[in-house]
Amino acid sequence: MSFEIGFAIDVSYVDFDSNDFVIYGEGSTVAVNGFSLQGAYYYRITEKLELYARAGVFMWDSKVKSLVIDANFLLGTDAVKNDGSDLTYGVGVDYHLTKHISMGGIIQNYDVGSNNMFDYGVTAAFHF
C-alpha cells in the first residue's frame, strides 16, 4: 500500500440559516453566514480513498433578532448585527467516483466571536 500527500486551497460560502432559541423566557433568532478560505492537507490511503484536514479563516456576518418583552407585554423587536474573522478547521474523508469527482463527509468547526459552531455534512467536490 502506498500513501500520497497533497495540498489544496478551499474557498467556500457557509450559511447557517436562521435558528430560533429562547433565553430567559424570551424568543430570539440568530443567523450566521460568511466565506471561508482554507488550506487543506490530503493523505491518500488508496487510489480512491483519502483523508484530509483543513484550517483557515472564516469571515462571517451575524444578525440576532430578539423580542422585547416587559411585564409579559410584547414591546417590539431588537436586532443586533455583528461581523468578524475567526479560525475554522475540520477533518474529512473523500471517495473518488472518477478522476475529477468525489463524495465524502466532513466535520468542521467555525469560531464565531466567542462561540463555536460545528457543521457535520456530506460533501461533493470537483477536482481540477
Please report the domains of the chain, with CATH numbers, ordered by start residue.
4-126 (2.40.160.20)
- Let me know: does 34 contact 61? Beta carbons within 8 Å: yes
pLDDT digit string, tens, across residues 12-56: 998 887 666 555 556 677 788 999 999 999 999 998 999 999 999
Phi, psi (5° rounding) for residue 77? -125, 160
pLDDT digit string, tens, across residues 79-120: 778 899 999 999 999 999 998 999 999 999 999 888 888 889
